[in-house]
Structure 1
Amino acid sequence: MKCYYFFLFFTLISCASSPRHGNNIKISIDVDELPEIGLGISTTEYDVRVIEFDSAKHGERIIDNAEAIYLTLHNGFSERKQIYAEKGDHIHLTFDGKKLHGTSKLTGDRPPITEYLSRWKAVFPSRNIYSLPLPEFETKLKEAIQENSRLLDSCENTLKKASKKFVKLEHARIKYLLGSVLLNYPYAHGWKKKEEIEANYYTTLENWIEEDKDYLDLQEYQNFITHACSFLSAQNEAKATTPYENVLQRIQYISRNFKQDEVIQYFISTWANEYVQRNGIVQIEELDKITREKLTNPELLSRYTDVYDSWVRIEPGNEAIDFFARDSTGKEFSLKDFRNQYVCLYIWQNVFPCIAEFSYLNKLTPLFKEKNIQLVNLSIEPKNEYWREVIRNKDIQTGTHLYLEKTREFLAGYHYNPQTIFQFILITPDGKIARINLPKPSSGEFEKYLSEQL
């Protein structure tokens, strides 16, 4: 059950579809019945978004900033279907809403490619391959790539008629998918210190790297380059001990060793954006300076500054982002209804780690009264009826329970991280942000912060 909620809530923090500009990729979906768990579309393992259907049972997703992309349709956890699209494509899917397989029909999606993807299955070499010396290991790995490419080779002429670009990308996708085996070689041998790593491993890793702007939309290529640069950057430097040190070393390595400026800027933009999105802008002066200097591409620089500025927006002292929520009777509330007192917003969902925190919050009731703090529990449960059911539990009867509306925009504004499941935000009596990530009450640090800082 927890995985179900995680799947749905992970999608909630995805920002609203970016404005359409130029050609984009459009996926439209019509169903006979609404999928019970939800139909998701992922472009990467981290970017899964549930499709929102209208009253006519029609849903859409627009994908910008991609020349070509592999997409995965997720019918809950039970089914997956992979498709491919290029800029300007419009893919239309119909199915009964229960089962993709057997009822789904796709149009406008380059049929030979869809057929190929439905038949292709990855076959990885056995773990015994790691016992081989590096030269023999690499030979076996290349043989595995050839084995995985047989279906592609057998229907290459047909696929080229649908898209020559796809054939090129698919060869690269298979190579870099199997490249994960190469990246695991040091760990399989227990090489924890760089002095233990065979010198020719670095050379082998470097030789696997291809600089090609056409590969930039491939998740497998992105993963390989990211991990390879992390490894190679430590070859002549002290090993990074923090995510911040790691991202700086990767940027410095790729700036020195790669030749294609478009590839260099893409990865600098991607790595900087990911770090800032997850960690914020505290003590990142060096990363910010390098990123702004290196990104001469106006679009890439704009994407980075948008992420950076979104954190500036929620720095302490700035006006808090308003919310609209309803209690169990349907009465609407917003932040202004709690003025003249501190407000602690608890963003939570119906999973055990969130519910467990209520017992600690309940014990803090006297402290909330002393410090003039109103606890407002904002539920981001997908189904209102599930929320209504769980708040009847007497063990969580503390604070004001509200059901959050316009969830996606609110969570994105506060950089809600679904991996932590919940978030505590403190707002001052005059509606200003005091802190957007309070420690969880069960840690003991929550009570200490409120006691000392307020």
Structure 2
Amino acid sequence: MSVRKELFIWCLCFLSVSSLVYGSPVDTTGVRVGDKCPAFTFEDMKGQSRSLEEFKGKYVFIDVWASWCYPCRKEFPHLQELEKKFEGQNIVFVGISSDHVVWRWKGAVENGKMSGEQWWVGNDTSFITAFRVDRIPRFILLDRKGWVSRLEMTRPSDPRTETMLRQLKGIENGPSAPRKAKKIVALRETAFEFQMPEDDTREVALETCDGGRMKLELDGSNKAVWKMALSGGEYGRLWVGDKKYTVWVEPGKPWQAKSELNELHFEGEGAGINNYLNKRLYRDIQWREYELEEEPFRVRLQEMVEEREEALLTAGLDVNFTKRERERILHERNYQLAFWVIMGHGGKQVSEKSRSELRRVVVEKKEAWGIFEYPESIRRALFAFHNLDGQTGDAYILLMDVLKEAEKYRDKRLVENLVVKSVMEYVRIHGMENAEGMDRIFRKRVHRPDYVAEYQRVYDANKVLFKGQPAVPFTFKDITGKEVSLSDLKGKYVYIDVWATWCGPCNAEIPHLKKLEEEFEGRNICFVSISCDDSQKAWERFVQAKQLGGIQLHMGGDKSFMEAIRCKGIPRFLLIDQDGKFLNANMPRPSDGKTLEILNTLPGL
């Protein structure tokens, strides 16, 4: 074979392999930390079929490499040194080549006198796809049961690798790699100011990823002045009431902000970045756009990213901040994609392209900590996956599935954030009744003082609604003007529906509620519907036109009952026992098959 022809074949092989490794990863199965490693098959140097399952009972350190990859070859001596240090111990080192040509792989192994198990993927790229290998070398660790322990280990040349391996259970400790001395980080105190309009009475707070939420005290002129001890620049969120603004705080770069017509304007050394962050943009995703089909929505996502990238480029800011901000823009984009899936309630057709992107969203990236949108996009993507699987019926089951996924991450800060945000969002809507599993995970995984204090405050406020607690009393008028109290119904079970005539979901439950009333007619249970309509006449007309049954009550202008049961949305259903105590302060809806099952099991009905 001529030299020119051989060179041509070599280049062709190189391009085909590099398109696999350096191109956009094709994500299908999406293996994650904590998953069992699928049963892939490989070819060894003797042409025998091999599987990682052969090493059950041992740790497996995998090196994904290729003969043409220079960084891969640089790691070979360090890898061989590791193999010698752990010789005879409960760990095996396996090299898996992604070469497309078998003789290139075998030649590299023989010429390099490579030790350990040396295998070849062959024409089956499922291993590369499953582990999302988008660059090499890539090092993966499996535990003794064949479960994925680390998706991306540090390289053999990194002293931390030996230290981590020696910390594995069943591995003799021996002399660990020398620890680097901890770097002493100097903190620099920097002052910031925020001026509110004189007539604005909203509460102001500053939130950082690690420091939590700090309420800012306003002086007589409605201005807040505070100092922060900072080691480096970081994102923050300035909260004005329920409205949030992204800000950047950096040591030695103070800024003074002023709120005008709900827009922030900055002056001072740190003004440049913050004026960019709070520049008015026109291509952000609007609420109605979550109803779009996939391709139009993806176009809108791209428009949003392009507008932000252009604004960032035009601002001409610090190189390090620009790099960090590009990452934040990507996480915001991922958040919006996940939220689009959630808002579709699993009914939208979602392409493999979008699913693949979401699988990459949930991959842990420790270096992204400090960007608020990083954990937020992961959380939304976890919920989105369950929506895609059709698990949209029971909110509590959905929550528990997401919490169990969150527990698998290694970064404790990320785990805490995912658990806290998911639990508090659920509690705001559904309360804490019959949620012992949720409570157990929260108390096990969350230890940050501000998180724990807020959860305990909410828990204590919700205890009054727990099963066995006295039900919140009420006295409201029916359609004839007669007052009806909860105490009048003692001795009977009471199924309560809090609703309004203008509420679409409430109206959708009416036919199902009528069926329940017919099913249990003449039995020891009352069906009470309590309207929170502002207009009593509109309620009366609706009740008469729809010929609503059961006990129909109107709460008038007194919303204290809704506040007492912590009703944040309607319809809301409650079940009270014969002694006037809560059985369930967040009952399933009449349309939910579980409601009939629960009612049929009530003793004495």
Normalised TM-score (structure 2):
0.43
Does residue 226 of structure 1 match 2:226? no
The residue aligned with 2:527 is 375
Q: Report the secondary structure of 2:530's partner residue.
A: strand
- Contact persistence 1:357–1:440 (CA under 8 A): yes
- Contact persistence 1:319–1:433 (CA under 8 A): yes
Q: Report the secondary structure of 1:321's partner residue.
A: coil
The CA RMSD measured in Å over matched residues stands at 5.7
Q: Report the secondary structure of 2:573's partner residue.
A: strand
Q: Within 5 Å, which residues of 2 pair with 1:38-437?
A: 61-62=202-203, 66=207, 68-69=236-237, 105-106=261-262, 113=275, 117-122=279-284, 127=295, 145=305, 148-155=308-315, 173-180=328-335, 188-189=351-352, 206=363, 210-213=367-370, 215-216=371-372, 220-227=373-380, 243-244=398-399, 246-254=401-409, 256=410, 258=411, 262-275=413-426, 278=430, 280=432, 282=434, 284-285=436-437, 287-323=438-474, 325-327=476-478, 334-336=485-487, 338-350=489-501, 351-355=503-507, 357-358=509-510, 361=513, 370-393=522-545, 395-403=547-555, 405-407=557-559, 410-411=561-562, 414=565, 416=567, 418=569, 421-437=570-586
The alpha carbon displacement at 1:391 in A equals 2.9
The alpha carbon displacement at 1:188 in A equals 2.8
Unaligned runs of 5+ in 2: 1-191, 209-235, 250-255, 268-273, 342-349, 386-390
The alpha carbon displacement at 1:378 in A equals 1.1
Query: In structure 2, how many angstroms separate the alpha carbons of the residues matched to 1:28 and 1:321?
Result: 41
Higher Cα Rg, which structure: 2
The answer to which structure, 1 or 2, has the higher relative contact order (CA under 8 A, 6+ apart) is: 1
Query: In structure 1, how many angstroms separate the alpha carbons of the residues matched to 2:400 and 2:263?
Result: 47
Question: 1:428 is matched by which residue type in structure 2?
Answer: D
Q: Report the secondary structure of 1:320's partner residue.
A: coil
Q: Report the secondary structure of 1:118's partner residue.
A: coil
- Identity, in percent, stands at 23
Query: In structure 1, how many angstroms separate the alpha carbons of the residues matched to 2:478 and 2:337?
Result: 54
- Contact persistence 2:526–2:550 (CA under 8 A): no
Decide whether aligned partners of structure 1 residues 168 and 425 sit closer, same or farther in structure 2, where only a CA change above 3 A counts: farther
The alpha carbon displacement at 1:206 in A equals 4.3
Query: In structure 2, how many angstroms separate the alpha carbons of the residues matched to 1:434 and 1:176?
Result: 42
Query: In structure 2, how many angstroms separate the alpha carbons of the residues matched to 1:347 and 1:317?
Result: 21
Q: Which has the higher helix share?
A: 1
Q: Report the secondary structure of 2:407's partner residue.
A: helix
The alpha carbon displacement at 1:320 in A equals 0.9
- Contact persistence 2:478–2:551 (CA under 8 A): no
Question: 2:280 is matched by which residue type in structure 1?
Answer: S
Query: In structure 1, how many angstroms separate the alpha carbons of the residues matched to 2:310 and 2:492?
Result: 67
Q: Within 5 Å, which residues of 2 pair with 1:6-45?
A: none
Question: 1:349 is matched by which residue type in structure 2?
Answer: A
Question: 2:401 is matched by which residue type in structure 1?
Answer: N
Decide whether aligned partners of structure 1 residues 445 and 113 sit closer, same or farther in structure 2, where only a CA change above 3 A counts: same
The alpha carbon displacement at 1:205 in A equals 6.6
The alpha carbon displacement at 1:433 in A equals 1.0
- Contact persistence 1:377–1:399 (CA under 8 A): yes
Question: 2:457 is matched by which residue type in structure 1?
Answer: D
Query: In structure 2, how many angstroms separate the alpha carbons of the residues matched to 1:443 and 1:379?
Result: 21
Question: 2:405 is matched by which residue type in structure 1?
Answer: R
The alpha carbon displacement at 1:85 in A equals 7.7
Q: Report the secondary structure of 2:533's partner residue.
A: coil
Decide whether aligned partners of structure 1 residues 405 and 305 sit closer, same or farther in structure 2, where only a CA change above 3 A counts: farther
Query: In structure 2, how many angstroms separate the alpha carbons of the residues matched to 1:391 and 1:143?
Result: 48
Q: Report the secondary structure of 2:280's partner residue.
A: helix
The alpha carbon displacement at 1:294 in A equals 3.3
Decide whether aligned partners of structure 1 residues 91 and 143 sit closer, same or farther in structure 2, where only a CA change above 3 A counts: closer
The alpha carbon displacement at 1:297 in A equals 1.8
Query: In structure 1, how many angstroms separate the alpha carbons of the residues matched to 2:352 and 2:331?
Result: 21
- Contact persistence 2:495–2:575 (CA under 8 A): yes
Question: 1:121 is matched by which residue type in structure 2?
Answer: R
Decide whether aligned partners of structure 1 residues 151 and 296 sit closer, same or farther in structure 2, where only a CA change above 3 A counts: same
Normalised TM-score (structure 1):
0.55
Kindly provide the CA deviation profile for residues 62-89 of structure 1, in whole angstroms up to 9, marking residues without a partner as x. 4657455488999xxxxxx9966899x9
Query: In structure 1, how many angstroms separate the alpha carbons of the residues matched to 2:455 and 2:417?
Result: 11
The alpha carbon displacement at 1:386 in A equals 3.5
The alpha carbon displacement at 1:300 in A equals 0.6
Decide whether aligned partners of structure 1 residues 115 and 292 sit closer, same or farther in structure 2, where only a CA change above 3 A counts: closer
Question: 1:223 is matched by which residue type in structure 2?
Answer: E
Query: In structure 2, how many angstroms separate the alpha carbons of the residues matched to 1:296 and 1:175?
Result: 30
Bigger mean CA offset, 355-364 vs 373-382: 355-364
Q: Report the secondary structure of 2:368's partner residue.
A: coil
The alpha carbon displacement at 1:299 in A equals 1.6
Kindly provide the CA deviation profile for residues 326-360 of structure 1, in whole angstroms up to 9, marking residues without a partner as x. 55687776534544544332111224553454455
The alpha carbon displacement at 1:385 in A equals 5.0
Q: Report the secondary structure of 2:468's partner residue.
A: coil
- Contact persistence 1:340–1:429 (CA under 8 A): yes
